[in-house]
Structure 1
Amino acid sequence: MKTFKFSKKYTKYLLLVGLFLLFMGLSAMAVIGNWEPISLGLIITGIVLIGIWLILQGGNDLTSPTQAFWGKRSTQAGTNAAFAMLAFVVILGLINFLGTRYDYRLDLTENNLFTLSPASQQLVRNLNKPLKVWIFDRIQYPQDKELLENYRRQGGNFNFEYVDPNTNPGLAKKFGAQELGEVYLEFGDRRKFLQKVRETEPLSEQTISDAIQQFTSDRTAKAYFLQGHGERSLETTEGGLSEAAQTLKDKSFQVEPLKLAETKEIPKDANLVVIAAPQQALFEEEVTAIKEYQKRGGNLLITVDQKSDIKGLEPILQDWGIGIDDRIVVNASEFQVRGLGPTAVLVSSYGNHPITQDFQNRYSFYPSARAIDVVKVIENVKTTPLLLTSEQTWAESNPDQIEFNAESDRQGPLILGIALTRPIETTTPQASPTPNQENKSDKQTQETRMVVLGNTDFATNGLFSQQINGDVFVNSISWLSQQDDRLLSISPKEQKNRRINMTVLQASLLAWLSIIIVPFLGLVTAGFLWWRRR
């Protein structure tokens, strides 16, 4: 009898250990996803211990222990508690199982800081074979890993891996990695250096998506830059466009100079032509060739500066109803770009257009810009302003003496950039005409596009990478290429400042309310209720 009492004293621990093992087994099964020996062994052991505990709850009547046990009120209450605990364990196991099988994330940040842009998501989903990002570093920065995890969630063909070059020197040599932090992209048998990451220079969505697009795109757009009239060159000199040209090449564009006076016509493979601030007038034959190119659906980007020969461009601009003001736009606000003076116009207001759709409330600036005007409404020509100055700007007729003169100057807001489209009708012959179709054609409606910007300096070396100047230029080129599946520039997302700025008086009042007044009112209310119920 003493032995039985001793055993009964410790039987309650059998229940606790059994439930614990059962919970651990179910959790392990939910995480692993199948019946592994470890999880199955824990579940069976837990069930056996619970069964032994039930058998030992028989009371003093050893001839009918089960009947004595189940007849107790405490047993019924304990059984209800056991079933409730078992149900809790099962529900918890199911939640863990579903959580490992179906990954769902909800980004509640205002600017969707932790969500990829729709273009990047579609880019990863369209991958037709595995693509992998290799990061040769010992440190896994959280912001980089979170971004790469976001990419991996979009499709099974995207993956990434961190590699320590010291423990795996062979793989580092295979990619040519020489320093910690180097990131490479591998797609099939092709490899590409992406960037070098540091804590202060993390991976960006734009960099990764541009590289993926360059690897996977089977089409390249060709941009020709007109030369021979003092236009900005593609060289690395001051005032050149080498930074812009390199960025376009990184986005799978082909960039080449064009001496139209020698070729006599624009090449057939040209997706667009850029005329960047010519200092002398174009030849009449060149103007004719450009007009013919636009009639065929060709696209054109024209940028001017303070010394540009506008008269040489007028025959082209007049066909679209566009004029360029001779005066220089002046920025009269207190906030000016350091080192550039009042002639560098800040722009933070943009038109509703694919080129500028993500630019609102972000700055770009344009030194010595000229205003763009719609001087004549042309049928079927659609115009959309891109760059809008503030009311604190004006077009100055005398840059040597900056002072607003109502008689000779023009008050802002002004337009510094405009996008234009015009439909064209092309006819393409049928692939296999029948006798009844020999004289018929398949008519397709397309459009020719043009962008006119009243400044060129913003895209030159040194200024191209400032603020979103480069985005304005690259997005204009991308839109003009008419490859609608080509990614436009993806600007980095910024977290808005939501801090509450309070005066000393407001902070003191808040402290009194939260620490003294509100608790005192609660204490008084509680005392009053106690007094009434007494």
Structure 2
Amino acid sequence: MEKNNSLQPAKPTAPSSGRIEVGFNIIVQIALVIAALVMLNWLGNKYYARLDWSRGKNITLSPQTKALLGTLEKPVQVIVMFAMAGEVENDAQLLLREYQFAAKGKLTVEEVDPYANLSRAKELQAQYKFGANENVVIFTYEGRHKFVNSGDLAEFEQLDEMAMMMRRQPQMLGFKGEQVFTSTLLELTETKQNKLYLVAAHGEYDGSSRELAGFREFLTRQNLKFDTLKLADKDKIPDDASMIAILGPRFDFSERDLKLLTEYWERKGRIFICAGWTNNKTPNLNEWLAVRGARLQNDAVIRVVSLGNMAGMQPLEAVVMNQGSPITKGLEGVGSDMFGPTQSLALDRNLEKTANLRLTGLLTAPEGFWGEMDYTPGNRTNIPMFDPKRDHPGPLTLGVAVERGGSGDPKVKLETSRMVVFGNGDFLSDKGLQTGQASLELALNSVNWLLNRDNLISLPPKVKEKQSLKLSDAQIGTIRWWVMLFIPVMIAVFGLYHLMWRSGKNILALTLWLAVVFLGFIASWLTVQWRLGLWKPTLKMSPTFWITIGIAVAIGVAAAVANTLEQKRRVKPQD
């Protein structure tokens, strides 16, 4: 009897070599993808760029701040605790994260939520002695700490009585976060606090002047200590004087006073002078400055403007910042108004060779101003006219930086005598600072240059621009046409095409019909405009108009040709 071998199960066979190769290829591909992802992650972590897309660039750090963060020798801890977070607080938190990133591990930021982390909040309040409802940022460095209140981080508009009665919240005009944070870091990390002496007893603004309160506050943020200096009571200018300032003298200096100034200048001293128009009441001081290359010209910088049938003197405005000095870095070409009477300065270029001086003009009066030698303040009847034989023609220099000694190479740092002179004595007063931000920036830059803080030129507040959309009448008309006509028509045409396609109808015929309707509408509309006198036929029409007409004609012709060919294809040939 024969056995039926066909019913026995087949023996298992070994997997083919092709399946092994496929599996191996898949494993290799997965490994390569994983390796590529790891490599991309490593490259992204090592080579990347941080971009600030905000309109006001509120969280973009300036080169000065980055330079300061790069010089940190020991770690700085920043503790942020905001009981109530608003626009200012949110910008401050984002900005501090940029500080942390730029410091490369030398600055850490701890954000404490007093509601989510109550125990840590109470610990900080007990340690640093501040209230539970305060919004504070605490900087600590080598056991020293300094508070920054959120209210100091922004400038707000001044509300009138009506707005206050309506309980309207003031709008933020400028964000000062970087200015305040960098100044705080500077104060904590500088080993020696600079001391500024304000010279008194000649009618100047001194340390007790109320009119100088705003400027003193800004200088305090620059880690400067103030004191008043009366030259008549001293045998020499104190050795701890980092710089001295003479702000708006109205009476002259004695020979003894000038001798002390000369000795301090020879000791590589730093002097800041703001000397406005005094009707030649300070001849000794003027002569002392002339020997050092910056001679005050005892004039008043004015311009006469026409007021219909009358004429009037215009105060100095739109003063132009010059190039070529660290003091005006970032301010080149910026215009600034000057409060109070201003006199011009003449630079003695011969002294640059004979006395080893470097003179750099900082400010220039705008076109049309001249130096009036017969100026009478408050005179509204006898309007002066320019006298080419007596007055000083423009362009006029209003500020100068003087440096004695040193090297012409900016990379070579040597101790030198430095002095900044402005021909205006009132622009740093509270009223003067209200004329514009540029005056304050110029003054703080001058102070930092005198103190060899070339990399810490003052940081201006970031102006908070109002988010507004301004449209012209033509743009509004275009939007109206698109919203009321073009977009609805496009939706209707798309729906019509979809309906014809679903119904199996001839889409090419529809295209031809729509092109004819469109051209007919344009022709009718132009005819009406022409009959009403609102449009005149001309070939010099808008390119957009001719392009639109050309596209419509081309689509119509193409649709007509395609529709004709389609009709011929569908017609069966006659036997």
TM-score by length of 1: 0.70
Does the aligned pair in 2 maintain the 1:471–1:489 contact within 8 Å? yes
Instruction: Give distance in 2, aligned partners of 1:462 and 1:228.
Output: 22
Matched to 1:121, the amino acid is K
* 1:226 matches 2:171: no
- In structure 1, what is the equivalent of residue 371 of structure 2? 395
Q: Is the alpha carbon distance of 1:180 and 1:220 closer, same or farther for their aligned partners in structure 2, counting shifts above 3 Å?
A: closer
Match of 2:329 among 328, 334, 357: 357
Does the aligned pair in 2 maintain the 1:331–1:342 contact within 8 Å? yes
Instruction: Give distance in 2, aligned partners of 1:450 and 1:529.
Output: 81
Instruction: Give distance in 2, aligned partners of 1:62 and 1:111.
Output: 78
Instruction: Could you tell me which runs of 5 or more consecutive residues in structure 2 were left unpaired when the two chains were aligned.
Output: 1-8, 155-171, 307-312, 408-412, 483-541, 566-575
Matched to 2:292, the amino acid is W
Question: Where in structure 2 are the equivalents of 1:2-401 lying within 5 Å?
Answer: 63-64=12-13, 66-67=15-16, 70=19, 87-88=32-33, 90-99=35-44, 101-102=45-46, 104-107=48-51, 115-137=60-82, 139=85, 142-154=90-102, 155-166=104-115, 167=118, 168-178=121-131, 179-196=133-150, 200=172, 202=175, 204-237=177-210, 240-307=211-278, 309-330=281-302, 342-367=314-339, 368-375=341-348, 377-378=350-351, 379=354, 380-396=356-372, 397-398=374-375, 399=377, 400-401=379-380
Matched to 1:234, the amino acid is G
Q: Is the alpha carbon distance of 1:68 and 1:285 closer, same or farther for their aligned partners in structure 2, counting shifts above 3 Å?
A: closer
Match of 1:419 among 394, 401, 407: 401
How many residue pairs get matched? 442
Instruction: Could you tell me which runs of 5 or more consecutive residues in structure 1 were left unpaired when the two chains were aligned.
Output: 1-59, 335-340, 426-443
Instruction: Give distance in 1, aligned partners of 2:556 and 2:92.
Output: 53
Matched to 1:210, the amino acid is S
Deviation at 1:503, TM superposition (A): 7.1
Q: Is the alpha carbon distance of 1:130 and 1:321 closer, same or farther for their aligned partners in structure 2, counting shifts above 3 Å?
A: closer
Does the aligned pair in 1 maintain the 2:58–2:95 contact within 8 Å? no
Instruction: Give distance in 1, aligned partners of 2:551 and 2:25.
Output: 43
Deviation at 1:260, TM superposition (A): 0.9
Deviation at 1:106, TM superposition (A): 4.8
SS at match of 1:457: coil
Q: Is the alpha carbon distance of 1:514 and 1:249 closer, same or farther for their aligned partners in structure 2, counting shifts above 3 Å?
A: same
SS at match of 1:241: helix
Deviation at 1:184, TM superposition (A): 2.0
SS at match of 2:430: coil
Does the aligned pair in 2 maintain the 1:107–1:114 contact within 8 Å? no
Instruction: Give distance in 1, aligned partners of 2:10 and 2:393.
Output: 105
Deviation at 1:227, TM superposition (A): 1.1
Instruction: Give distance in 2, aligned partners of 1:293 and 1:203.
Output: 36
Match of 2:458 among 461, 464, 489: 489
Q: What whole-Å deviation, never above 9, does each CA across 1:436-456 have from its counterpart, x for those lacking one?
A: xxxxxxxx9742112110012
Does the aligned pair in 1 maintain the 2:371–2:393 contact within 8 Å? yes
Deviation at 1:417, TM superposition (A): 0.4
Does the aligned pair in 1 maintain the 2:207–2:226 contact within 8 Å? no
Instruction: Give distance in 2, aligned partners of 1:70 and 1:527.
Output: 58
Does the aligned pair in 2 maintain the 1:136–1:177 contact within 8 Å? no
Question: Where in structure 2 are the equivalents of 1:488-507 lying within 5 Å?
Answer: 488-492=457-461, 504=474
Deviation at 1:377, TM superposition (A): 2.4
Question: Where in structure 2 are the equivalents of 1:454-493 lying within 5 Å?
Answer: 454-464=423-433, 466-482=436-452, 484=454, 487-492=456-461
Select between 86-95 and 386-395 the one with higher mean Cα deviation: 86-95
TM-score by length of 2: 0.65
- In structure 1, what is the equivalent of residue 497 of structure 2? none
Match of 2:421 among 431, 452, 469: 452
Does the aligned pair in 2 maintain the 1:449–1:480 contact within 8 Å? yes
Instruction: Give distance in 1, aligned partners of 2:326 and 2:305.
Output: 29
Instruction: Give distance in 2, aligned partners of 1:321 and 1:228.
Output: 25
Instruction: Give distance in 2, aligned partners of 1:516 and 1:181.
Output: 62
SS at match of 2:350: coil
Instruction: Give distance in 2, aligned partners of 1:208 and 1:505.
Output: 43
Matched to 2:113, the amino acid is D
Does the aligned pair in 2 maintain the 1:236–1:243 contact within 8 Å? no
Matched to 1:225, the amino acid is L
Instruction: Give distance in 2, aligned partners of 1:165 and 1:500.
Output: 42
Matched to 1:150, the amino acid is E
SS at match of 1:355: helix
- In structure 2, what is the equivalent of residue 434 of structure 1? none
Matched to 2:362, the amino acid is L
SS at match of 2:109: strand
Does the aligned pair in 2 maintain the 1:421–1:449 contact within 8 Å? yes
- In structure 1, what is the equivalent of residue 504 of structure 2? none
Deviation at 1:356, TM superposition (A): 1.0
Matched to 1:413, the amino acid is P
Instruction: Give distance in 2, aligned partners of 1:523 and 1:186.
Output: 74
Does the aligned pair in 2 maintain the 1:132–1:185 contact within 8 Å? yes
Does the aligned pair in 2 maintain the 1:299–1:480 contact within 8 Å? yes
Q: State the identity %.
A: 23
Instruction: Give distance in 1, aligned partners of 2:463 and 2:450.
Output: 28
Q: Which has the larger radius of gyration?
A: 2
Instruction: Give distance in 2, aligned partners of 1:503 and 1:411.
Output: 46
RMSD: 4.3
Instruction: Give distance in 2, aligned partners of 1:302 and 1:121.
Output: 31
Select between 105-114 and 290-299 the one with higher mean Cα deviation: 105-114
Deviation at 1:87, TM superposition (A): 4.5
Q: Is the alpha carbon distance of 1:250 and 1:333 closer, same or farther for their aligned partners in structure 2, counting shifts above 3 Å?
A: farther
Does the aligned pair in 2 maintain the 1:345–1:369 contact within 8 Å? no
Q: Is the alpha carbon distance of 1:82 and 1:393 closer, same or farther for their aligned partners in structure 2, counting shifts above 3 Å?
A: farther
Q: What whole-Å deviation, never above 9, does each CA across 1:212-259 have from its counterpart, x for those lacking one?
A: 11101112322222111111122242xx32332332232222221111
Q: What whole-Å deviation, never above 9, does each CA across 1:461-492 have from its counterpart, x for those lacking one?
A: 3433641222222221222223556x221234
Does the aligned pair in 1 maintain the 2:253–2:282 contact within 8 Å? no
